[in-house]
Chains A and B, each alone.
Chain A
Amino acid sequence: MLQYLLTFVVLGQPATPPAAGADKPAAEQSQPAEKAAAGDKKPEAAGNPCDKNAPRPANKPKKTLPPVGPRTDIGAGTYWMPVANSDMAEHVDGLFLAILAISIFCFVGITIAVVYFAWKYRHREGHQAPESDAHNDALEITWTIIPSIVCVIIFLLGWKGFVDLNTPPKHAYEITVVAEKWKWSYKYPNGWVDENLHVPVGEPVRLVMRSKDVLHSFWVPSFRVKQDVIPNRYTKIWFEAKTPGVYRQYCAEYCGDRHSFMKSLVVVHPPGGFKRYMEEAEQALLDMPPVELGEYLYAARGCNQCHSTDGTTKTGPSWKGIFGETHQTSAGAVKVDENYIRESILDPTAKVRAGFNPVMPTFKGQLKDEQIDGLITYIKCLK
């Protein structure tokens, strides 16, 4: 209670109760606290960068990043397949089921024949097996020709579907996909970068994909589309979603330790929703306090694959409490300050912390300066 009063008095915050566990004595803040009159309607810029609830200008209410809903594809679909969310997916399913039917027919037929013959013609004492031919050319030719014809038909149907899968319409909406160990990044034409794939319903979407390191593969089971993503080369894929919802996307080419964690969501927006999302997302990010921006980027840009915030050591050091510490690095002792963090983002192998491998990729050209500022602030606030 005392701490709350102190905070209130010292920072001039509106009278919101402190969140549970969030009591921070004023002394811990890295910025000097500024005194302001209580109840001031137009506060000066709050000094605490870690405070996500810092007062905002009256004409610019804070926008939150629109949430991504829960998956809608779990449990949906038939016994064999997830729900087919495009015409091409339905074609795939049709062919799959046709082959399944033929396969079950053949397998059951052969099983019945084997079991029946093994029983009917079992060895019995004194019983002589009847005479039978050792070959029958007509039979051979028949059971060669019929499967061949079936195979040709299956091939042609599969080929047609494949051609469709690889022929995007000219007016498709284009999104760039970047795959890296172990995160997908989706870059939209307006510059927005998202960790999930947002697409409008009923419109063809083309993805132009590349990898930053090893082979990955982009797979959305609900659309039955998959394409390997290769370093230093662009591969393409397209689809047109029929039903709004949230669908799972996986990496389908083994790419190392966290291959199975490298997944994202495909958010199919109802009509109008996509445009709205893009506008809201971009706006929210521009308005976001640096610490929230850093927290968002920590997850969205894949830092969380290698750095924890709770002290656990992963591929990279944990961010918890490191700001202000002095670490041994490959280039001598270094104090973890704003400059070191910025350098580590842009040139990660310059000063590698002792005990860790120089495997961090550079984010040069991928993070705007404001975004780097946000990450620095976020790290600063991780006590």
Chain B
Amino acid sequence: MSSAAHDEGAHAGHGHAESPFIQHHFDDGAHQFESGKLGIWLFLGQEVLFFSALFVAYIIYRHNHPEIFEYAHRYLDVRLGAINTGVLILSSLSAAWAVRAAQLNQRRALIFCLAVTLLCAFGFLGIKYVEYAAKIHHHTLFGKRFAPHEAPDGTEIEQPDGNPGKDAKGQPTAKEPLNTVGGVKAQPIEGSKGPPPGTAPVVPGDPSASKEEPASAQAGVGVLPAIEAQKAAGAKIDTESSARPPPNTGMFFTIYFLMTGLHGVHVLAGVFVFIWLLWRASKGHFGPRYYGPVDFAALYWHLVDLIWIFLFPLLYLIA
């Protein structure tokens, strides 16, 4: 008679052949390992979807405003990005090797590989810190906080009031109204001269539209790009010269910080996981009969690496 029994296996499961880390409700170690494997793949699947919205936002904004991405990406240091890529690839290698070491019961190799992975992770985070610090220093930040004094090639950018004195965050010294959306206040775009008045898309019978909308406000999806609006109004726009960022260049850094920030959070989480693994490996928990956590953490780490391999060209290597 076929039986729906599992408990026999579970209760009898952990004899001396099985690792003490096999849980009661599993038939045996293999059952636990297969379940964990499926579980981690599902988790990685949802992680990909977690990042997906950012990639979609990237695609949409870059498609609609290539000039922003073309201009702003030059603020990024490609060498540091490339080093980070190499560091992560190396760490993926050591993570995969750690799994192998656990399978072959090579405790010292396992500990060594885990340590290398951890060091690479720290290295990655360190380089990221250097990059972020540079951005804070140069005021190349997200949204309204994009207020650099220099263009990517080093030439100086004129400030709207001629006065290079801004506060530490690069914010304009005038008080901002709470409601920043829509035509509340015509804000000059930091770091540029601002659009000439009357550059809103012209609508027949709309006498007051031009006065309150900065051209930057038109740069939404599906609207006349600000550049074309300004050109239509006869303004001379200089996108080739690196001395003048296009309007809303802060959007590039919004995307940049969101994507690299979320990725960095996942690297940090990985750091904690690998510290935990290192501790457990030093206690001799892992071996051929039980290496699931190492395997699954390595899979997670490969995904973290893979995401960076997409981020690097998308953010740093824009043609």
Q: Indicate whether A296 reaches chain B with its CB closer than 8 angstroms.
A: no
B177 A349 Cβ-Cβ under 8 A: yes
Q: Give the contacts of B192-218 with A (CB-CB under 8 A).
A: 201, 203-213, 217-218
Q: Indicate whether B261 reaches chain A with its CB closer than 8 angstroms.
A: no
Q: Shortest distance in angstroms between B212's beta carbon and chain A's nearest beta carbon? A: 5
Q: Shortest distance in angstroms between A278's beta carbon and chain B's nearest beta carbon? A: 12
Q: Shortest distance in angstroms between A305's beta carbon and chain B's nearest beta carbon? A: 15
Q: A362-B212, A365-B211, A366-B208 are in contact. Are A231 and B181 (CB under 8 A)?
A: yes
* Alpha-carbon separation in the docked complex, A189 to B159 (Å): 38
B211 A234 Cβ-Cβ under 8 A: no
* Alpha-carbon separation in the docked complex, A366 to B186 (Å): 14
B205 A364 Cβ-Cβ under 8 A: no
What are the residues of chain B within 8 A of A233 when measuring CB–CB? 218, 220, 222-223
What are the residues of chain A within 8 A of B203 when measuring CB–CB? 174, 176, 208, 234
Residues of A within 8 Å of B, CB-based: how many?
Answer: 28
Q: Shortest distance in angstroms between A232's beta carbon and chain B's nearest beta carbon? A: 4
What are the residues of chain A within 8 A of B205 when measuring CB–CB? 174-176, 187-191
Using CB atoms, name the residue of chain B closest to A175.
B205
Interface SS majority for chain A: loop
B179 A232 Cβ-Cβ under 8 A: no
Q: Indicate whether B49 reaches chain A with its CB closer than 8 angstroms.
A: no
Interface SS majority for chain B: loop
Q: Indicate whether B182 reaches chain A with its CB closer than 8 angstroms.
A: yes
Q: A187-B207, A349-B177 are in contact. Are A232 and B212 (CB under 8 A)?
A: no
Q: Indicate whether A373 reaches chain B with its CB closer than 8 angstroms.
A: no
B204 A231 Cβ-Cβ under 8 A: no
Q: Shortest distance in angstroms between A254's beta carbon and chain B's nearest beta carbon? A: 16
Q: Indicate whether B175 reaches chain A with its CB closer than 8 angstroms.
A: yes
Using CB atoms, name the residue of chain B closest to A213.
B182
* Alpha-carbon separation in the docked complex, A379 to B205 (Å): 30
A358 B177 Cβ-Cβ under 8 A: yes
* Alpha-carbon separation in the docked complex, A362 to B208 (Å): 13
A358 B184 Cβ-Cβ under 8 A: no
Q: Give the contacts of B159-205 with A (CB-CB under 8 A).
A: 175, 177-179, 181-185, 201, 203-205
A213 B178 Cβ-Cβ under 8 A: no
A362 B185 Cβ-Cβ under 8 A: yes
A212 B182 Cβ-Cβ under 8 A: yes
What are the residues of chain B within 8 A of A230 when measuring CB–CB? 220
What are the residues of chain A within 8 A of B208 when measuring CB–CB? 187, 365-366
What are the residues of chain B within 8 A of A187 when measuring CB–CB? 205-208
* Alpha-carbon separation in the docked complex, A172 to B203 (Å): 14
A358 B178 Cβ-Cβ under 8 A: yes
Q: Indicate whether A222 reaches chain B with its CB closer than 8 angstroms.
A: no
Q: Give the contacts of A150-191 with B (CB-CB under 8 A).
A: 174-176, 187-191
Q: Give the contacts of A177-235 with B (CB-CB under 8 A).
A: 187-191, 208, 210-214, 230-234
B220 A232 Cβ-Cβ under 8 A: yes
* Alpha-carbon separation in the docked complex, A231 to B184 (Å): 11
Q: Shortest distance in angstroms between B173's beta carbon and chain A's nearest beta carbon? A: 15
Q: Name the contact of B184 in the complex, choosing from A190, A357, A361 (C-beta under 8 A).
A: A361
Q: Indicate whether A118 reaches chain B with its CB closer than 8 angstroms.
A: no
B182 A231 Cβ-Cβ under 8 A: yes
What are the residues of chain A within 8 A of B183 when measuring CB–CB? 212, 232
Q: Shortest distance in angstroms between A264's beta carbon and chain B's nearest beta carbon? A: 18
B223 A232 Cβ-Cβ under 8 A: yes
* Alpha-carbon separation in the docked complex, A210 to B207 (Å): 14
A234 B181 Cβ-Cβ under 8 A: no
Q: Indicate whether A139 reaches chain B with its CB closer than 8 angstroms.
A: no
What are the residues of chain B within 8 A of A357 when measuring CB–CB? 178
Q: Can you list, as one digit per residue, whether each of A226-256 has a CB less than 8 Å from chain B (1) or not (0)?
A: 0000111110000000000000000000000
Using CB atoms, name the residue of chain B closest to A365.
B211
Q: Give the contacts of A348-383 with B (CB-CB under 8 A).
A: 349, 357-359, 361-362, 364-366
Q: A176-B206, A232-B223, A234-B203 are in contact. Are A364 and B182 (CB under 8 A)?
A: no
What are the residues of chain A within 8 A of B177 when measuring CB–CB? 349, 358
What are the residues of chain A within 8 A of B223 when measuring CB–CB? 232-234
What are the residues of chain B within 8 A of A366 when measuring CB–CB? 208, 211-212
What are the residues of chain B within 8 A of A190 when measuring CB–CB? 205
Q: Shortest distance in angstroms between A263's beta carbon and chain B's nearest beta carbon? A: 21
What are the residues of chain A within 8 A of B220 when measuring CB–CB? 230, 232-233
Q: Which of B212, B217, B222 has the most CB of A within 10 A?
A: B212
B212 A364 Cβ-Cβ under 8 A: yes
* Alpha-carbon separation in the docked complex, A213 to B217 (Å): 12
Q: Shortest distance in angstroms between B144's beta carbon and chain A's nearest beta carbon? A: 15
Using CB atoms, name the residue of chain A closest to B221.
A233
Q: Shortest distance in angstroms between B203's beta carbon and chain A's nearest beta carbon? A: 5
* Alpha-carbon separation in the docked complex, A189 to B222 (Å): 25
A364 B211 Cβ-Cβ under 8 A: yes
Using CB atoms, name the residue of chain A closest to B197.
A365
Using CB atoms, name the residue of chain A closest to B186.
A364
* Alpha-carbon separation in the docked complex, A86 to B186 (Å): 40
Q: Which of A189, A190, A212, A359 has the most CB of B within 10 A?
A: A212
What are the residues of chain A within 8 A of B209 when measuring CB–CB? 176, 210
* Alpha-carbon separation in the docked complex, A189 to B178 (Å): 33
13 additional A-B residue pairs with CB within 8 Å, beyond A231-B182, A232-B217, A365-B212: A176-B205, A176-B209, A187-B208, A188-B205, A213-B181, A213-B182, A213-B184, A214-B181, A232-B182, A234-B201, A349-B177, A359-B178, A362-B184
Q: Residues on A close to B: CB < 8 A?
A: 174-176, 187-191, 208, 210-214, 230-234, 349, 357-359, 361-362, 364-366
The 4 closest A-B pairs by CB, nearest first: A365-B211, A189-B205, A231-B182, A232-B217
Would you give 11 A-B contacts (Cβ < 8 Å), ordered by A? A174-B205, A208-B203, A210-B209, A214-B181, A232-B220, A232-B223, A233-B222, A234-B203, A234-B223, A365-B211, A366-B212
